[in-house]
Amino acid sequence: MANGFGLIKAAGLPSYGEAFSSAGYACILFDYRRWGLSDGNPRNALFMSEQLEDYRTVFNWARMNPAFDSDKIVLWGFSLSGGHVLALSAELGTQVRATISQSPHLGRSLPFYFQVNYFKLWFYGLLDLLKQAIGLSPSYIPIAARPGVLGAVTRPQALELYLSFAEGFGFDNRVSASAFFRVPAYKPIRTAHLIKCPVLLVAPKNDTSRPAVATIGAGAVIPKSTILHLTGGHFDMFRGGVDYELSTTSQIEFLRKHVPL
């Protein structure tokens, strides 16, 4: 289990880990390199290849560890990591027993807006690519910001939602500016049809970050998919949100059906 865009494992994941553990399932939570409690510099630099490699490393470690059943490994992700677990499920085939993907990032075209901040994102993104290519520290932008302010996520209430969700976990509101290019270019949906294991796709109706219609559409191309329809927004499936209880109980039911103890 790893977290979504700009988030660390301490934000929201422990409550799910506790729920799964109480149901009899061992859980491994981790931070990607450069983020949270993991080491690696520069900090808060985002590279899809690294995050996928970190998932593979944990996956392979669990398969080789005699404390776990190597035939019953489940991948779990949320938002950006929801895309990671779909990409890895397609790649790893029958090694993955089941997958749970909450509001997954599926990929989209890089939009164009005739706005000052949009051109600033291009500038800082290109500057970051150049600086990192020659070994300098990244150029950073805020992960979340209010509408009209420079940032990676600037939808209404985005900053408030990020701050409230990650409150108390030392939320470091910055990411390497090249994320502006890397996130849209990353399209896990392209290989979703190759997934062989059962997949639970969690689709909150009022998610403005990863719209439910896209998640439901992914279910149409994943052969063994099930859709969990929720009523809230992007973070409402976590503790304190309106969908938390239904989300956790439904995910445990999915595990009991496809990964019986």
Which domain CATH number covers 74?
3.40.50.1820
Instruction: Measure the CA–CA gap between 260 and 91, rounded to whole angstroms.
Output: 24
Q: State residue 174's pLDDT score.
A: 97
Looking at 136-260, list the stretches that DSSP marks H as alpha helix, in order from N- to C-terminal side: 158-165, 179-185, 212-219, 244-258
Are 54 and 87 within one domain? Answer: yes
Instruction: Measure the CA–CA gap between 61 and 152, rounded to whole angstroms.
Output: 33
| Domain coverage including residue 231 | 1-107+186-261
Give the chain's end-to-end CA distance (angstroms, integer): 19
Pairing of the two strands 175-176 and 199-204: unpaired
Instruction: Please state the pTM of the whole predicted model.
Output: 0.95
Peptide bond before residue 42 is cis, with ω within 30 degrees of 0: yes
- Within 13 Å, how many C-alpha atoms sit on residue 138's CB side? 18
Are 18 and 99 within one domain? Answer: yes
Instruction: Measure the CA–CA gap between 259 and 261, rounded to whole angstroms.
Output: 6
Q: Using only C-alpha atoms, what is the Rg of the chain?
A: 18
Are 17 and 70 within one domain? Answer: yes
CA distances from 127 to 63, 141, 218 (A): 40, 12, 34
Q: Measuring CA to CA, which residue among 98, 89, 85, 97 is closest to residue 2?
A: 85
| Residue that is last in its domain, among 140, 166, 184 | 184
Most confidently predicted of 73-77, 148-152, 235-239? 73-77
**DSSP assignment, residue 137?**
P
Are 43 and 172 within one domain? Answer: no
Number of structural domains found in the chain = 2
CA distances from 77 to 16, 20, 48, 86, 115 (A): 11, 14, 14, 9, 33
| Residue that is last in its domain, among 133, 168, 184 | 184
Task: Please compute the mean of the pLDDT values over residues 38-61 and round it to a whole number.
Answer: 97
Instruction: Measure the CA–CA gap between 185 and 212, rounded to whole angstroms.
Output: 20
Q: State residue 188's pLDDT score.
A: 98
Q: Measuring CA to CA, which residue among 177, 143, 183 is closest to residue 162?
A: 143
Q: Do residues 98 and 199 touch, judged by C-beta distance below 8 A?
A: yes
Asked whether residue 168 carries a pLDDT value surpassing 80, the answer given is: no
Q: Kindly report which listed range (15-29, 74-88, 167-181, 236-250) carries the lowest average pLDDT score.
A: 167-181
Are 177 and 207 within one domain? Answer: no
CA distances from 160 to 49, 163, 235 (A): 29, 5, 11
| Residue that is last in its domain, among 144, 169, 184 | 184
- Give the relative orientation of helices 13-22 and 244-258 as an angle to the nearest 10 degrees: 50
Q: What percent of the chain has pLDDT over 70?
A: 98
